[in-house]
Amino acid sequence: MDTIAFILKILGSLGVFLYGMKVMSEGIQRTAGDGMRKVMATMTHNRFAGIATGLITTGLIQSSSATTVMVVSFVNAGLLTLIESIGVIMGANLGTTLTAWIIAMIGKFSLSEIAIPIIGLGLPLFFIGKNRWKSFGEVLIGFGLLFYGLHLLKESVPDVKSMLSSTDAAVQEQARQIQTFVASLSGKGYVSILTFLMLGVILTLVVQSSSAAMAITVTLAIQGWIGFHESAAIVLGENIGTTVTAWLASIGTSVNAKRAARAHFLFNVIGVCWMLIAFYPFSQVVTWLGAQLPESFRGKSHESDIGFNLAIFHSLFNFTNILILVGFVNQLASLVTRWVKEPKIAPPKEHRLHFISQGMVDLGELNIPEAENATRELAGITKNMFQGYLEVFKNPAVDLSEEVKRLKALEDAADVLTHDITEYLVRTSAAEISPENARSVTRMLRIVSELEEISDAIYRLIQITQRKYTKGRAFGDEATASILAFAEKIMELIDLYSEVLIKGASEAQLRKAEEIEKTTDKLRKQYNKRAVKRMSETEDAVKTEMITIDMNNQFELIANYGLNVVQSAYYLVKHDEIPERAEGKSPASPE
């Protein structure tokens, strides 16, 4: 029963710690998510900037797994290159060492005395504050819970020395059993090191968080359950285990995203390999550095010496690994490129959106670039379809049945991608994102809806053109010229909304879109009147000119939907309000 109670206390302490980390990380995303996205996407132009970006990002959200999964997502979205991603991953490895330093403070401060006041500061902000202040309160609450979880973990794990000096014979026996078990695994040179390394890998896989695994390791070391060499070996294993999260997140993503995940794995494994060779000399250096810490930092009883030594070991290992491999980023990229090869026969491109999730920490704020990229792709499909329609219209004497099949496949792909983006954005908004990003998601949902309407209208144009050829209807020179002139204005609008997605349109671009839409409205009325006039000239012209009117009406529909896209893109960054949606004219209207 005591064993069950002990295990439940450990699990409960880890639960508070992990929940605190989750709350803090998501609060930081809501507070600075846009800034983090911009930094990640723009401040990684060289490997050193990438390292700094990874270091700062991981230091803030306290989760290297979340950072590396974010990197995989950005590579998949095309916002980061493989070379840039490797630099960020290096920095993330160094940033995660901050966790070990925080945990090492267990023996220096009374964490409960720190944690409760921090939660007290965050609580009123969380309940009373708005927007960023509310999110900042969430950060403080999460930070306090993280500290309190560490305090509970320390209290849950008994000190072996205290157990040995206990007057209770049963407690002494338990302490001796612990020492005997650890001793049976220790003292066998590299066999023992590899054993504890594997334990570190398994521990990280089980708890799905290198920070939680580090918390357990440092706490056990401070409480005397394991020695420095054993705990250092476990830390090395945790460095390998943490790469699995990004590896799993890369399943179903692009080739480059898979390569980024493999680069993370390779970087850490190479580091562990050279560290195993230099393990004992490196450990001596770490012990010497630990002894140089000032007495005021280490505490009177020195009970946290091993904790600080582990923090030094973790930091120095990752820093040295960066120094060794930072000059070989191109070679690492080349190696993973050979490892994950492009398929010899490229499969048909599937227009699907892959939702990437870290699992422990919700990446709602940082998932948005993936949806933005997919929205641009959807806009590209509509442009491709309209160009294909013009190709079919301009070549009535050429058999373009294969082109029509291709355009139908594009229309189907647009429907699938619209569904994927909509579902993706709904899942993103479910993560309690900031009000600003919530509004952005709403506008993106509108943009996606308008783009789907455009793809449907373009395919109706293709069907109308097919019907024209099937029925043997031939346009006269005037009708053909009017269709091409109308199509030119539509192409101008499609080019415009393709350009402004998704960064937002300028005032001039919005006015240009409104001008084009007004022009298309006039053209529809003008060309439809001409078509009605031509109907009266011959009896055979009626059915032909009805096709002309149908095309003109579809053009006007596309113009209305296109204006809605530009308006939404403009208000995405300029204002809070979106003007009333411009509805399309009825396709049956000959006006």
Length of the chain: 591
Residue 575 in this model has a pLDDT that exceeds 70: no
DSSP state of 77: T
Is the pTM above the cut of 0.85? no
DSSP state of 251: T
DSSP codes, 384-443 = HHHHHHHHHHH-TTS--HHHHHHHHHHHHHHHHHHHHHHHHHHHHHTTT--HHHHHHHHH
Identify the residue with better confidence: 334 or 155: 334
**Range of 46-60, 247-261, 411-425, 430-444 with top mean pLDDT:** 411-425
The pLDDT of residue 355 is 54
Residue 302 in this model has a pLDDT that exceeds 50: no
Would you tell me the crossing angle of helices 279-291 and 228-241 to the nearest 10 degrees? Answer: 110
What are the tens digits of pLDDT across the range 390-415? 999 988 878 778 898 999 999 999 99
Identify the residue with better confidence: 18 or 366: 18
Identify the residue with better confidence: 326 or 180: 326
For the residues 303-325, what does the mean pLDDT come to? 91
Mean pLDDT of the chain: 83
Residue 589 in this model has a pLDDT that exceeds 50: no
Burial of residue 2 (CB within 10 Å: 0-12, 13-18, 19+) is exposed
Identify the residue with better confidence: 375 or 366: 375
The closest of 370, 379, 417 to 505, measured between CA atoms, is 379
Q: How far is CA 115 from CA 145, 155, 211, 262, 480, in A?
A: 7, 15, 18, 38, 75
Q: How far is CA 73 from CA 34, 251, 524, in A?
A: 15, 11, 44
DSSP state of 341: P
Confidence of residue 585 (pLDDT cuts 50, 70, 90): very low
CA-angle at 23, arms to 261 and 19, nearest 5°: 85
Residue 330 in this model has a pLDDT that exceeds 80: yes
pLDDT more than 90, % of the chain: 35
**CATH number assigned to the domain with residue range 365-571, chosen from the 4 options 3.40.190.10, 1.20.58.220, 3.30.565.10, 1.10.3720.10:** 1.20.58.220
What are the tens digits of pLDDT across the range 92-144? 999 888 888 887 776 566 666 778 888 999 989 888 877 778 888 988 998 88
Contacts 24+ apart (CB under 8 A), 303-308: 303/107, 303/222, 304/104, 304/105, 304/106, 304/107, 304/108, 304/222, 306/221, 306/222, 306/227, 306/228, 306/231, 307/100, 307/103, 307/104, 307/105, 307/106, 307/107, 307/218, 307/221, 307/222, 308/101, 308/104
Contact 271, 319 (CB under 8 A): no
For the residues 293-318, what does the mean pLDDT come to? 77
DSSP state of 326: G
Question: The tokens of 289 are what?
Answer: 């550095």
What are the tens digits of pLDDT across the range 446-462? 999 999 999 999 999 99
Distance of CA 101 to the CA centre of its chain: 27
Distance of CA 384 to the CA centre of its chain: 28
What are the tens digits of pLDDT across the range 158-177? 877 777 766 677 777 777 87
Confidence of residue 40 (pLDDT cuts 50, 70, 90): low
Contact 423, 386 (CB under 8 A): no
Residues of the chain with CATH 1.20.58.220: 365-571
Q: Backbone phi, then psi, for 96, in 5-degree steps?
A: -70, -15
